[in-house]
Structure 1
Amino acid sequence: MMFVDTAVVTGFSVGDLLLVATALFVTLAVMMLYRAILGPTNQDRVLAVNVLGTNTVVILALLGAALGEPWFLDIALVYALLNFMMSIAISKFTVERGGVI
């Protein structure tokens, strides 16, 4: 049995498909930026900023895979660690101020 790569059949390379996925994640990040700015509550804003950070990590990883540049993955890893630390700091600050319901 012979396997056919669907990316070759449709005329798109894997890099092109990864760039399309990157564009989709950028669109989702812009939509989440709207929620981060105009969120009705502080919890909505914190969650939106966390999702923005995660989207940034995914975008960097997809770009690294699409362009064949491994240093994008290094930056994505460092940014993921910073995003995690930011989430912990915001959670601690919110609990200390008594903002948790």
Structure 2
Amino acid sequence: MTVVVLIAAVLLIASALLTSFRTLAGPSTLDRVVGLDSLVAIAASGLAVWAAFSDDTTVVPAIVALALVGFLGSAAVTRFRVRDDR
């Protein structure tokens, strides 16, 4: 199990670095919103991997809250961005 967690951690770190680069280099606001939403999903995935590794279920509400905040943030920014385009 330790090898699987180590591989998952390395892949999550690599994806977070690539997503951070894309977020910073994004030419538009919507590109940056997608990048930040991806970072929130990566953070939730990291918490899920930690919960599976440590057999600790107390982080599950944090995962749910993080997913909710990520969704609401993306929806709000997209809504205001669409309103500005009109």
TM value normalised by structure 1:
0.76
Gaps of 5+ in 2: none
Instruction: Specify the alignment match of 1:89 in structure 2.
Output: 76
Q: Structure 1 residue runs of 4+, over 3 Å off?
A: none
Matches within 5 A, 1:47-86: 47-86=34-73
Structure number with bigger Rg = 1
Aligned partners of 1:76 and 1:27: how far apart in 2? 20
Shift of 1:67: 1.4
Aligned partners of 1:71 and 1:16: how far apart in 2? 23
Contact 1:19 1:66 in 2 (8 A): no
TM value normalised by structure 2:
0.88
Instruction: Specify the alignment match of 1:18 in structure 2.
Output: 5
Shift of 1:68: 1.4
Shift of 1:48: 0.7
Instruction: Specify the alignment match of 1:31 in structure 2.
Output: 18
Shift of 1:23: 2.5
**Larger deviation, residues 90-99 vs 48-57:** 90-99
Alignment RMSD (CA, Å): 1.5
Aligned partners of 1:72 and 1:81: how far apart in 2? 14
Contact 2:5 2:53 in 1 (8 A): yes
Contact 1:54 1:80 in 2 (8 A): yes
**Larger deviation, residues 51-60 vs 19-28:** 19-28
Shift of 1:19: 3.4
**Larger deviation, residues 77-86 vs 16-25:** 16-25
